Every structure is written in structure tokens, then in C-alpha cells.
Chains A and B, each alone.
Chain A
Amino acid sequence: MALPQPLHIARKDLLHLWPETLVVLLLFAAFCWAAPSGWSGSQYAGVATLLAAFLKGFLMPISWLVLISRLIHDEPLVGDRQFWTSRPYHWAKLLAAKAIYLGVFLYVPFLLMQIFLLKRAGLYPTTVVPALLHNLLLLTAILVVPLTAIAAVTATFARMLLSTIGAMIYLLIVGLGLLYLIFRRMPPPGFEPLVLTLIVLLPLAALIYQYATRRTPITRILLLGTPLLIALLLVIVPATALIRRAYPVAGAASDPKLAPVPAQLLPKTAPTGALQVLNNMVEVGIPVATSGIDEQSNYTVKGYAVTLDAPGQHWVSPYLNELGTEINAYQPGVLVPVALPLDVFNQFKSTPVDVHLSLAADHLKLDSPTTWRASAEPFSVPGHGRCSWAADNPEAAPICRFPFAAPQPDFVSARLPASSCGDPESTRTPHQMNLVAGSSTLDFDPVVTVPLSFPASRGAGPAPHPLCPGTPLAFSEAKAQGKVRLEVDLHGLQLDPLAARFQERGSPLRQ
């Protein structure tokens, strides 16, 4: 019984490419050995940790590049001298053979490696199946499809390597051009999945087209056009309208209220330092009073748009990215850093300006806390995490390991002694820490390590408070409640005193 054609071709590939395949598998094994050394929570990297970084940053991607090149170039699609084009190969079956090979010798080992590492960390892979699959999707989007597509339009490894380098330079140029065109622009919500989908689908379509037709020049144009198309989409998309649609204006009684800051609190004159200008933009900190926010809510500003009006002058900005401004009940106001083009700033700086500020914010609300106990044995925490004390250093904070990312934002509260766990006289006081840790895009190691280390209280010295076995831990997870647009009109604002400036010794000063 003859094998189906894809398996017949894949078997031939294994016969030919077993050395390259073996190297790829050995590197997976090496990473499985080296990666756990980075889970200690120590800031000092050992040899194994450095090896793991070298493996995932260089050796493994290079071995995949070689394997993909050799695999695709075994039946090259470029040229007119290859023997296979005159044989009863069916292009779809050939492509399937290559996919099977990569599936068996790249995807499955990658998946097994991540499962092994999760198990080794005491975590449960079955709880994070979507994340595992998402990582495979990222592997496909970032590495496999682009490299396979480049291999399909080149004839040799040397040409593929040069093309890959050329593609990286090309992407850099397109990215810089895009940055120039839409500097700091806020992408519309839902745009990132769309871009990721296009990044996978367009090269995949080009790859399939190349296998079906072997029209290399057209495929190359398709591949070159992919970043341009995505960049064009980012430039021409009606971002403001989409953002306004995704972020409805706050109108409910429970929504926060923004108001002007009393005039007497605003600076009247500009300080003497030089204006901070970055990429021809000036940052103006606009103060806004906030109220009506319940204590469990937090609003994270994702972007803002500003309209400036002065006698005979009118200027409107698009929505720009804003990172870091939080609006909650614990602060009476916020300073929204608004970037203005230098010429616009100069135009408006010397006259009172009516400012309309529109903030696009994500609403998060803390859930009721759940209590978990920090036992001397490894103990579970939310987010499918496991924490444990280091056997060789029980004085240190326990190390928590999470699959792919710690639940965030997630606040942990506990009552901790001031000095040591062994002191029964020590008064226990409440303390809080924020679990902030996530894996980078397509991290090979799915285990995220966070020390459960509570920071020292103000005035209590530099040492963190010890967490003692048996201490109850209260975890409060913040859940997304939706998107909202907060708007405020500020009349007669002087921009010049609010602009960011350098101190005379050169350090930045915000008024």
C-alpha cells in the first residue's frame, strides 16, 4: 500500500534532513534543561540562564531558519531546472508535506517543550491550552510563515539568508516611515488582532499562490506589498471615528466626572528652563480634576484627543497614545500629558485657549478579594500559579510561577510582621503588592516568575516585610468593565506655563 503523497514526500525529507532536524530537537532539549535555571527569582543570571537566553535568542531561531530553508529548497519553487516540477507532484500535497514536517518536527516539539516546562514548574498545562495555542499562532505569524514564504521565493539558503536580512531592513524602513506618518497615534480598538491576522494571512496567501503557480515575481510583489498594505491601512483608517465608536461618552451616574482645576491652582507664568521638544513635539501637562469614582474602580487612559480654540484659531488633534495616566478615587485630579506640534504650541502659547480634552479610557474594577493561604509547602494562587519558598533560602520571599502571565492587574494584601516570622511579639500590619509580570511576545519559556515580595512601608527602612508560612493572602483581581470616553472643556487656559521644560542643570521639570 503506497503512502499518501504528503507522507511519502515528508518521509523523503526526513531521510535527507535528519541532521538538521536532530539539531533542532537537541536545541529544544537543551532549552528544556536550561530554562528552569531562570525561575529562581534571582537577578543574577547563571551559566544555564545565559545559555537559555542564547538558545532562544539565537541558536533556536537560526536552526529553524536552516531547517525551513533546507525543507522548502528540497523542492525549490524558484528556477526552471528542478526535477520535481516534471513529476507527478501535486502542489497542495507538496505544501501539505512541508506543513506536516514542520508540524511534527517544529510545532509538536515546541508544544511539548512548553508543556514540559510548565509541568517542571509545577503548573498545569491543561489550564492554559488557549495560551499554548496562541503561542503556536504567534510562532506561525512571527517566524514560520514569513520564513517559509521567503524560502518559497528563493532558491538557496544563502539567498534566503540575504532575503531575510533584507526583509528585516525593509520592515524597519516601513516601520520608521509609519512612525513618521502616524507618530504616537492611537490605533483603533481591535486593530491589533486585525493586523496580526493580516500578518499571518497575507504571507500565507502568497505562499499558497507561489506553490500553486510558481510565479515568483508576483509572489515577491505580494510579500513586499504586505507591510505596505498594513502600513497603508494604519494611515488611512478613520481612527478617530472608530475610537469614538468604541469609547462611548461617559454619561452614567457612576462614570467619573472631569472638571477644570480651580484657576488659583494653575501656574501663571512659565518657568525659565528651555522648552522640551521631542520629535518637534512639545508636551503640555493639562491638569484636570476628577470626581465621582467609586473606590473599586480604576480608569486607565489609553489615548486622548485635544481641540484648541483661540480667537481666530482652531486646531484639532487625532487620538494619540497615552501610557500611564490612571484615574481613580485616591487622587483628586490628573495631569494629562498632551503632545502638541511645536508650531501649534507657538501659535497658541501666548493667548488664553479653550481646550476640549477627550480621554479614551479602559474601566477596570477590583473584584471582591479571595483568600489563599501561604503554606510552607508549595501553594496555589490565582491565575493557575504556584508559589514556594526556596529550600536553600527560607528567609527569602516565596517565588510564584505563573503560566505565560501573572493575572494582572492583581493586588495581593497580607498582614505581615515588621521584622521576622520567628518573632511572636512583632505586630502584624496590612501590606499590599501588585503582581505585574507577563511574558514577552512569543516567549519560548511559558513560566513567568514573580517573587511574592511585599515592599517596605514608608519610613520602615529598606527591608521588605517577610511573608510568613500560614499567612492568609487576599488576592483582588481587577476585571475589565468596558471602555468609556471622558470629556472636559477647559476655558482660558494658558499653555506656556504648563509646557514641560528642562531645569537649568538639564533635568526635566514639569510645572
Chain B
Amino acid sequence: MTGTGYAIETHGLQKSYRHTEALAPLTLSVPRGAVFALVGHNGAGKTTLIKLLMNMIHPSSGTATLLGRDITHLTGEDFTRIAYASENQELPDWMTVGQFLDYLRGFYPRWDHAALVRQLELPLNRKLKHLSRGMLMKAALASILAFSPEIILLDEPFSGLDPLVRDELIEALMSRVNPRSLADQAAFDPASRPTILISSHDLAEVESFATHIGFLHQGKLLFAEELTTLTARFREVTLTLPPSAAGLAPATLTRTSAPLPESWLLLEQTPAAARFVHIHADSEPVNDQLATVFTATDTPSVQIAPMTLRAIFLALAKSGRAPAAPSV
């Protein structure tokens, strides 16, 4: 056990293939019990990061720990506490679902798949190779939840699944974090709540249940922080001059020579309006910054609007830079 309270810690973890850098040096800390959504486009480095954490591939440089264990020294024993499932994992497809679960049972000190089989409606007698994509992912999920892991790493688990199956999987997964029924809540031990790291290229599917979020873009981690602080500090600021009265010259908005604050992204400006994304709207004096940067011949109206997660990510991707937020 680590004393830091983090389930995952990386320091300058990096992976290169010959002349291609799949993952830039990455430093990240994921608290225990968090549901950490790792998002980014295809090829952003999400799978590379997860495979590095699972010691499936070897880092080019840097270090990382899972549950306090150096990832390069993970042994079979560690995998009784660590779970992993991926959309493209090669399962022993010659086995039936029942054989697969029974076989894995022999490796774990704790194992119970009966409830999961019922919840996910798994066909025990069907071979894995004859399962649909959604059913296969259900079987994979059952095989990792059955041993009550302390940490779960999921690589694009919902990719290509229909919404119904996806919701079933999320339901099964989240029941381990926040049980819904009163009976389950009563029996739930918060100390047994697993840490979950889940990668996805679809923001919408993780927005509903993630507690923390990290954004990988072209191998670089642009930021990683708690979802509530992220949405609290990102605001879209719109500055609009009133329409001019008939016969009068239109009011104009001009930039002063003052430099733009670091926390402004994607500034767009017309003679009568300006719009940008503020990444620290919760902690910086937005109105004072506006007065320093702009002069106007009339009093502008200022709208400070909250942003969706998708809008935040688009803004960051467009601007191509990190929002200078501390790691979670």
C-alpha cells in the first residue's frame, strides 16, 4: 500500500517507438476511489498509457506506480488487486463464458461471478468467439469485477457498443462505486470502492459518471483534474457593445496595448464584440481583466456562460495548449 493516497502515480512516464513519441513525458496522480476518465482522440496515447501502467509494454523513460507498486515490477500477485479490460483484448475465445469464468476463478483468492452473470445476463454455455461485441465486453467486465479489484483500468470499453449495452456496463461498473439501491448502499463499504481509470474518445459517455478527467492530445496530457473544478473554472466570456442609435456613429471595441492574460483562450474580436474562453473564471477578476485589455466607446454588456465538457475540450484542442491547471 502506498501512503500517498494515490492509486496511480506517474513521473515523466514516456514511450517512444523508434522516432515516434507515442506518449510525451507524463506526470499524473489519480486519487484512490476516483473514477478517472482519460479522454482524447484516437491515437492520442490513451491506450499506450494504460498498457504502460499494466506493464504490457515497457516505458522508454520515467516511472509509475499502481497501488504503490512500481509498474515494471508488477507480478502475478499484484493482478489479484488490479483489473484490466480492453476493447481489443484477445480472450481465449475457444472457451465458453462459463469455462472462462471458472478458469479464472482458480487464480484469485476472492471470486464471485454468480451475481454478475445474472445482472449482465451472460450466456454461460456460449463460446466467447460466438458472442457479440457487447456481450463479449460484458463477459470481460464480469471477469474483472468478480474478484473485487482495488483498481480497474478500462481501455475504450464502450467503443462501438449500442447505448443499451453501454448503459448496462456502466450500471454494472458504477454499482461497485456508488450502489443505487438502498439495500446495496447499506451494505456498501466505501473503503472497498475501487479506483477506476477509463479511457474514451467519447466525452458524452464518461461525463455522466467520471469524478476526474484527463485530456490527452497527440501524446501530451493537456490537463488532469477533478471534473467539478474543471467545469467551474471554464467560462465562455462574450463582450457585446449595444447597437448604435440612429444617426450616431457605431460604438467600437478596441484592444489596448496590454498583453492578453494567460488564462484567455481563442479570442475572437469584431469592432462591436469579442469572445473568448476563460480558463480560470472562478479565481481571476474577469471584469478587471476586460477593462485592462479593451477600451470601448460605449458600455459593453458582458456575458459569462458555463461551458459543456465538449466545448471545453474543443477549445483546448483548438488552442493546442494546456490550461495550466495543477494535476489532481
List chain A positions with a Cβ less than 8 A from chain B.
Answer: 2-3, 5, 8, 12, 15-16, 74, 79-83, 85-91, 93, 215
Contact of A83 among B77, B78, B89 (CB under 8 A): B89
Number of interface residues of B (CB under 8 A): 29
Chain A residues, CB < 8 A from B107: 5, 8, 87-89
B77 pairs with A86, CB closer than 8 A:
no
Chain A residues, CB < 8 A from B51: 80
* CB 8 Å contact bits of B83-95 with A (1 = contact, 0 = none): 1101011111011
Contact of B90 among A82, A91, A93 (CB under 8 A): A82
Question: Is residue B57 contacting chain A, with contact meaning CB distance below 8 A?
Answer: yes
Chain A residues, CB < 8 A from B99: 15
B103 pairs with A12, CB closer than 8 A:
yes
A85 pairs with B54, CB closer than 8 A:
yes
Chain A residues, CB < 8 A from B76: 87-91, 93
Chain B residues, CB < 8 A from A215: 58
B56 pairs with A88, CB closer than 8 A:
no
A86 pairs with B54, CB closer than 8 A:
yes
CA distance A3 to B106 in the complex (A): 7
Measured CB to CB, the closest approach of chain B to A504, in angstroms, equals 65
A86 pairs with B84, CB closer than 8 A:
yes
B77 pairs with A88, CB closer than 8 A:
yes
Measured CB to CB, the closest approach of chain A to B74, in angstroms, equals 10
* CB 8 Å contact bits of B58-95 with A (1 = contact, 0 = none): 10000000000000000111111011101011111011
CA distance A2 to B107 in the complex (A): 9
CA distance A88 to B88 in the complex (A): 20
CA distance A89 to B92 in the complex (A): 15
CA distance A91 to B75 in the complex (A): 8
Question: Is residue B104 contacting chain A, with contact meaning CB distance below 8 A?
Answer: yes
Contact of A87 among B58, B90, B104 (CB under 8 A): B104
Chain A residues, CB < 8 A from B86: 81
CA distance A465 to B88 in the complex (A): 76
CA distance A88 to B103 in the complex (A): 12
Chain A residues, CB < 8 A from B103: 8, 12
Measured CB to CB, the closest approach of chain A to B155, in angstroms, equals 10
CA distance A180 to B103 in the complex (A): 54
User: Nearest chain-B residue to A17 (Cβ)?
Assistant: B94
B89 pairs with A81, CB closer than 8 A:
yes
CA distance A12 to B106 in the complex (A): 11
Chain A residues, CB < 8 A from B91: 83
B106 pairs with A86, CB closer than 8 A:
no
Known: A5-B107, A8-B106, A215-B58. A88 touches B79 (CB 8 A): yes
Measured CB to CB, the closest approach of chain B to A44, in angstroms, equals 47
Chain B residues, CB < 8 A from A8: 103, 106-107
Contact of B57 among A2, A80, A93 (CB under 8 A): A80
Chain B residues, CB < 8 A from A89: 76, 79, 107
Chain A residues, CB < 8 A from B75: 90
A88 pairs with B108, CB closer than 8 A:
yes
CA distance A240 to B39 in the complex (A): 68
